[in-house]
Amino acid sequence: MIIANRKPFEEIIGMLKPYSRILLLGCNECVTVCAVGGAKEVAVLASEIKLFRAKEGSPVEIKEVTLERNCDPEYVETLKPFMDDCDVVMSMACGCGIQFVGEHYRNRVVLPAVNTTFDGVTEEHGVWAERCQGCGNCVLDRTLGICPVTRCAKSIFNGPCGGSQGGVCEVNKDTPCAWQLIVDRYKEMDMLERYLEIQPVKDWSTSRDGGPRKRIREDLKI
């Protein structure tokens, strides 16, 4: 799922300064699961903004809407009736949703209320961590399910570097060293000899480096 963080309130308030009628948009998908941009968080942010602006003497009207998905035209089109009654859209969806709504309603500015951060998992209640960078050329077979691109701070394919100590990455003591995890996994599966294989230079053209990516399934097009 896509993980995001809410932007600092001062930044949100700063972006909204010129506007008084706001459509505050949430999403029922990833940002609801990671507790940053679902209906609940939309309601909380709406109250905070209203309270702050009322105190400032410049009250605002806020319409709260949470779509099933912000990355799908079917749902984004249902926003049409709300557009005439707002000066601006502020979205608590991920970066994909924010852009997609903007593409559909070109006469409205769509502001981000969250910083979209990574593709990850819920490690435990309230803890999310990155797992995939969508490099387009998966190597998880070679590293037994631990991604060196994502989980090593240097994305090295023949680690660990000299900064791995006590199983921890030198960049952050709360981050496990990806290559320690990989070596542990090789051992667990009795495959340590695989460590001796030199991983070849990676083709990054399938990653962001090749430019924005698109996938087309002709058979599914209408």
Partner 1 sequence: MSTASNLEKVLKGGNFAVTSECGPPRGADAEVVKKKGSLLAGYVDAVNVTDNQTSVVRMSSFSASLILKTMGLDPVMQMVCRDRNRIAIQSDVLGASALGINNILCLSGDHQKFGDHPTAKNVFDIDSMQLIQCIRQMVDDGKFLSGEEIKGKPALFVGCAENPFADPFEIRAMRLAKKVKAGAQFVQTQCIFNVEKFGKWMEMVRDLGVHEKVYILAGITPMKSVGMAKYMKNSVPGMDVPDDLIKRMQDTPKEKQAEEGIRICLETIEKVRAIKGVSGIHIMAIEWEQRVPEIVKSAGLYPRPQP
Where do contacts with partner 1 occur on this chain (CB under 8 A)? 153-167, 170-171, 177, 180, 183-184, 192, 195-196, 198-202, 204
Q: Which tokens in the block code for residue 202?
A: 């990676």
109-132 b/e (C-beta count within 10 Å ≥ 16 → b): ebbbbbebbebbeeeeeeebbebe
Residue 186 C-beta: closest distance to partner 1, Å? 9
Nearer to partner 1, 26 or 160 (CB): 160
- What is the separation, in whole angstroms, between the first and last Cα of the chain? 27
Nearer to partner 1, 97 or 160 (CB): 160
Closest CA to 201 of 109, 128, 137, 108: 137
Residue 155 C-beta: closest distance to partner 1, Å? 5
Nearer to partner 1, 78 or 165 (CB): 165
Contacts of 59 (CB under 8 A, 6+ apart): 20, 50, 53
Residue 121 C-beta: closest distance to partner 1, Å? 24
Residue 5 C-beta: closest distance to partner 1, Å? 18
Place of tokens 């399934």: 217
Nearer to partner 1, 40 or 208 (CB): 208
